[in-house]
Amino acid sequence: MHTQPAAQCQCMHDHGIGMLLVDIDTEKPQLDCRGNWQYYCLLEHHLFTVRPTEIEVAPEENTQKVVTLV
């Protein structure tokens, strides 16, 4: 089963919210050398990693992406 990472995650050091790092070209989550998702802590300005099995992922909603505007 392939899970999608949450866009936000609680900082591992309880500093606050971390934002998922995403490659802007591929729109895929940034991974560390072990395949863990990388997050950036907005309060303390540091990186932390989360294993895909460590967090509960909210069910994926039906979202639509805007490709072009006419």
Q: Which pLDDT value is given to residue 1? A: 41
Burial class of residue 22 in the structure, from the number of CB atoms within 10 Å of its CB (0-12 exposed, 13-18 middle, 19+ buried): middle
pTM above 0.75, yes or no: no
- The total number of structural domains in the chain stands at 1
pLDDT above 90: percentage of residues in the chain: 23
Q: Please give the torsion angle defined by the CA atoms of residues 29, 31, 37 and 41, in that order, rounded to the nearest 10 degrees.
A: -90
In a domain, 22, yes or no: yes
Residues 20-54 pLDDT 10s: 999 989 989 999 999 999 999 988 888 998 888 76
Residue 2 maps to a domain: no
Q: Write the DSSP string, 23-43.
A: -TTT--B-B-TTS-EEEEETT
* Residue 19 belongs to some domain of the structure: yes
For residue 39, the enclosing domain spans 8-50
* DSSP SS3 for 12: coil
